[in-house]
Chains A and B, each alone.
Chain A
Amino acid sequence: MPILWVVAVIFVVSVVGFITGRARALQSVGGDSRQLHSLPLYYGSHAALWAVVPAAATLIVWLLVQPLLVNSRVVETLPDRLLDKGSSIGLVMSDVRRVAEGLDVAVAQGALSHDEAASIGSSSVNIREFLGSIGLALGSDVSPEVVDAAQLHRGLNATGSALMSWIVLAISVGGAAYAYRRSNADFRARNVVERGVLGLLIGAASIAILTTIGILFALLFNTIEFFKVYPATEFFFGTNWAPSFSGRGGLSDLGVLPLLWGTFYISFIAMLVAVPIGLFSAIYLSEYASSRVRSVAKPLIEILAGIPTIVYGLFALLTVGPLLVSLFGKNTLNWMQGGTAVMTAGLVMGIMLIPFVSSLSDDIINAVPQALRDGSYGLGATQSETIRLVILPAALPGIVGAILLATSRAIGETMIVVLGAGAAARLSMNPFDAMTTITAKIVSQLTGDADFSSPEALVAFALGMTLFVLTLGLNVFALFIVRKYREQYD
């Protein structure tokens, strides 16, 4: 683990920097720390920061950039003959990487000496058999060009890594030395260190932005890639979902409409369960219940929110599904063919969302000022009339916002629909039919052994983009409604 070693050495340099920087500052005032501008600790931290931060930043950037550079360099040298055979650059490159990794593993295991690995050519041994013998399976036979490319890959990577280690270490030592030289009585170490720490804090806060950018890029690039191989109009307006994985030809229908229908149908049933139960629970808890009932019932409902979705998924698949079949299945009404259905997933998802709706509504109802209630009682209204005619209208924007947020949660929910809704995409009105959703199809398209450049795998990214836009839109809309129509009472 050479990178681990580099990190360890940086750590040692920073400790040495801390001790020497602190010592030099103290020495400059003859050991009397009162004459220093800052506490001795800051001089040490200053040196340690200089040893770590620039070096670590270089290391991270280098680790991200090197694979890209090496890749493009190797792709340039690949002969055209390899690419003509109908295989994409991505596939050839993944072979190249696998061979290169395999040779590295062979050296690490001691099956090959360093020189042997470097000189292993296309002619000498059957690479595939050899790598197979040390436990690395290669998909297809390896052509000589691929082996050459793999050797180039290894060579570039080795030089790159060596160069990286030395440069990073030089930066670390250089930084520590620079800070050491600056350590003396007049140097304002605290101000510099605090500015540095503030920079780190800002960096940490920006990770949220980096994550969003990462999500957007991951979705966007692959979605564009998908629309290059599959027409966008057919994706958005196609009413048939029938992916065919390689072997049956590349003709698949990838229309999103059946999936959208399944998603909305299941979410609708979930909301049909969650909204009345959640809302009435919230009203009862905040307006009627004694504090003893409240202190027991509220945490009980919130337990429902803390249960992982895989538990609900299993509950749908193994308990609710068979139960519904026994009620509506062949022996009774014959509405339902199998345990996985829109109804199953919708019901269970509704249960999951009860606490979501109820705790949000509870907060909102509690935020309605007492004066409104008192006024209503004073006019002779009963409690329920007060709730229906005064409190709910006052809390309505907040409640609508809560329902929209819960809907967005329902649309993005994965495990319950993967296990409970079925796999068949269809446009049907019967809630006892099996249907499927966007999230379930993302999972099924990306968990197979599909090649990532095929439309069947890339469609998952387009689906992810659709999902992301849908949920984000709902969230923004919910916030907008809450902000726009909120009554200000203070």
Chain B
Amino acid sequence: MAIKNQTSRGVSHTSLLSKRDAHTQKRNSAEKRFRIYGMVALSISVLFLTFLFASILRSGLPAFTQTVMNVELVVSQEDFDEAESKMLKTKAYQDIFVAALGAELARRNLDVAFDNKAIERIVGKPGGTIRSYFTEDPSRVGQPATFELAASSRVDGYFNGRVTRETLVDSRFLKATDLDLVDALQTGGIIRQAFNWNFITGTDSGVDNPGGAGLGASVIGSFFMMLVVLFLSLPIGVAASIYLEEFAPKNRWTDFIEVNISNLAAVPSIVFGILGLAVFIQFAGLPQSAPLVGGLVLTLMTLPTIIISTRASLAAVPPSIRDAALGVGASKMQSVFHHVLPLAMPGILTGTIIGLAQALGETAPLLLIGMVGFVAREYPDGFLSGFTDANSAMPAQIYTWASRADPGFYEKAWGGIIILLLFLITMNAIAIILRRRFERRW
């Protein structure tokens, strides 16, 4: 009986091995499907990431180039005297400029008709620049001078592909005939694209001049904010973590502190902005839009992050280090400050840099303390006024540009994001290198 049973089971077993029944097939295909779901989900997230970076680069890189027009001209003494005697002086200089441009085009055998208005649409009104160049130093009269004039944002867009002949509608800003002139100027090498240093070092411009807008002043604003954050949140965060990790007795008070810290880490950033507005600006009377206030708000925001990472690195130092220090006669305080803290320092610094990077990109609280309405036209005068003078910050500046009506500013906003991301990548890279180099495994 038993033997027979066994053989019959053996037969069915081999048939199972050779061909799968319907149930097994169903299970196997369910397995495969499940696996594919996972792969699809993963590739979607990676796809989003690539799409995001591609659109940042595609839209942001044009902000780093600028279309400039190089024209050499000589203003003779007679021209100068005549222009200065006129009622519309800058207009007179513009006429000289147009004449010089015409001569230049004729010299290169480029035959294209243009008038004063077309020039104004392409490079704005160059008369003022030229006049101030010569009135500043009258000895320049009679000498050949080269002017590099920034082209209007629409001409810029024509070079970047934002404006095309097909989509162009004649307006008072740009006409289709102007593009013929621009093409001729380009073949003549008079108009060309150059790296836009002004975007990196310059200050914000008015709402009608996207071409002249630069990020420089707000980078300085962000720098001063980060100084405040660093010098407040690092000592306070480290002190708090040392207390909580090394000294705090287990009681209600320390429990309360811990719950508070973990809750603060989850409070929306805009609420910190409200806190800054109500406490630092309305109650304490600190100046609006000042990097000092921004720094204070961001300090309170990054403190929980820094405390959490600092506590983790303090806890990672093995107890044997503390025991050894206590064994040779150090006090508890000495064992912490002389032995545990230095060993935990790489981890603490890594956490601090990551916290700073987070603070650097934070925008919402800055909106409420007035960093957005402010147009950062100037650099601060000195080190101390850098903290208290109204300024913008990188993310706030990007937001300001994104909410302006002229689409020329969108390009600047994307460009600003590239610079912001470069800062963040650098900071994170430093953190990773620090961790790799100095982290000790116990």
Binding site for B on A (CB under 8 A): 1, 4, 64, 67, 97, 190, 194, 197-198, 200-209, 211-212, 214-215, 218-219, 221-222, 276-281, 283-285, 287-289, 297, 300-301, 303-304, 306-311, 313-315, 317-319, 351, 354-355, 358, 382-385, 387-388, 405, 408-409, 411-415, 418-419, 439, 442-443, 446-447, 452, 460-461, 464, 467-468, 471-472, 475-476
Q: Do residues A215 and B372 form an inter-chain contact, with CB atoms below 8 A?
A: no
B90-98, B200-208, B342-350, B358-366: which lies at the interface: B358-366
| Known contacts A1-B384, A415-B364; A358 and B45 CB within 8 A of each other | yes
Given known contacts A354-B45, A385-B30, A464-B274, what 16 new A-B pairs fall within 8 Å (CB)? A201-B243, A202-B243, A204-B235, A211-B260, A277-B45, A280-B40, A307-B52, A308-B395, A310-B398, A318-B413, A319-B55, A383-B35, A412-B267, A414-B363, A468-B271, A471-B266
Label chain A's interface by main secondary structure: helix
Q: Do residues A212 and B264 form an inter-chain contact, with CB atoms below 8 A?
A: yes
| Known contacts A212-B263, A446-B368; A301 and B45 CB within 8 A of each other | yes
* Complex Cα spacing A297 to B41, Å: 12
- The answer to whether the Cβ of B80 comes within 8 Å of any Cβ in the partner chain is no
- The answer to whether the Cβ of B31 comes within 8 Å of any Cβ in the partner chain is yes
* Complex Cα spacing A467 to B364, Å: 14
Instruction: List 25 A–B pairs whose Cβ atoms lie within 8 Å, in order of A's numbering.
Output: A205-B244, A208-B240, A209-B256, A212-B260, A215-B272, A218-B274, A222-B278, A276-B41, A288-B38, A301-B49, A304-B45, A308-B361, A309-B361, A311-B56, A315-B55, A318-B410, A384-B31, A384-B34, A412-B267, A414-B270, A415-B364, A447-B367, A447-B368, A467-B270, A472-B263
| Known contacts A384-B34, A384-B35, A446-B277; A201 and B417 CB within 8 A of each other | no
Checking A97, A304, A314 against B48 with a beta-carbon cut-off of 8 angstroms, the contacting residue is: A304
**Chain B residues, Cβ within 8 Å of A278:** 41, 45
Q: Do residues B331 and A190 form an inter-chain contact, with CB atoms below 8 A?
A: yes
* Complex Cα spacing A452 to B288, Å: 14
Checking A219, A308, A418 against B424 with a beta-carbon cut-off of 8 angstroms, the contacting residue is: A308
CB distance from B67 to the nearest CB of A (A): 22
Q: Do residues A471 and B46 form an inter-chain contact, with CB atoms below 8 A?
A: no
B402-442 interface (Cβ within 8 A of A): 402-403, 410, 413-414, 417, 420-421, 424, 428
| Known contacts A309-B364, A310-B363, A443-B270; A382 and B44 CB within 8 A of each other | no
Binding site for A on B (CB under 8 A): 27-28, 30-31, 33-35, 37-42, 44-46, 48-49, 52, 55-56, 59, 235-237, 239-240, 242-244, 247-248, 254, 256-257, 260-261, 263-264, 266-272, 274-275, 277-279, 282, 284-285, 300, 303-304, 307, 331-333, 357, 360-364, 367-368, 370, 372-373, 384, 395, 398-399, 402-403, 410, 413-414, 417, 420-421, 424, 428
* Complex Cα spacing A476 to B262, Å: 10
Q: Do residues B275 and A214 form an inter-chain contact, with CB atoms below 8 A?
A: yes
Closest B residue to A207 by beta carbon equals B236
* Complex Cα spacing A215 to B282, Å: 14
Q: Do residues B395 and A310 form an inter-chain contact, with CB atoms below 8 A?
A: yes
Q: Do residues B49 and A201 form an inter-chain contact, with CB atoms below 8 A?
A: no
**Chain B residues, Cβ within 8 Å of A300:** 45-46, 49
Q: Do residues B240 and A207 form an inter-chain contact, with CB atoms below 8 A?
A: yes
Q: Do residues B240 and A205 form an inter-chain contact, with CB atoms below 8 A?
A: yes
CB distance from B21 to the nearest CB of A (A): 14
Checking A280, A283, A475 against B266 with a beta-carbon cut-off of 8 angstroms, the contacting residue is: A475
CB distance from B378 to the nearest CB of A (A): 14
Closest A residue to B238 by beta carbon equals A204
CB distance from A451 to the nearest CB of B (A): 12
**Chain B residues, Cβ within 8 Å of A314:** 398, 402, 413-414, 417
* Complex Cα spacing A442 to B272, Å: 12
**Chain B residues, Cβ within 8 Å of A475:** 263, 266
Closest A residue to B301 by beta carbon equals A211
**Chain B residues, Cβ within 8 Å of A411:** 268
* Complex Cα spacing A310 to B263, Å: 23
* Complex Cα spacing A157 to B325, Å: 52
**Chain B residues, Cβ within 8 Å of A446:** 274, 277, 368
CB distance from B320 to the nearest CB of A (A): 23
CB distance from A480 to the nearest CB of B (A): 12
* Complex Cα spacing A287 to B31, Å: 13
CB distance from A413 to the nearest CB of B (A): 7
Closest B residue to A222 by beta carbon equals B278
CB distance from B117 to the nearest CB of A (A): 32
Q: Do residues B271 and A447 form an inter-chain contact, with CB atoms below 8 A?
A: no
From B239, B372, B420, residue with most partner A Cβ within 10 Å? B239
Closest A residue to B281 by beta carbon equals A452
Checking B55, B285, B331, B399 against A310 with a beta-carbon cut-off of 8 angstroms, the contacting residue is: B399
**Chain B residues, Cβ within 8 Å of A317:** 402
**Chain B residues, Cβ within 8 Å of A354:** 45, 48
CB distance from B139 to the nearest CB of A (A): 35
Closest A residue to B35 by beta carbon equals A288
**Chain B residues, Cβ within 8 Å of A209:** 256-257, 260
Q: Do residues B278 and A419 form an inter-chain contact, with CB atoms below 8 A?
A: no
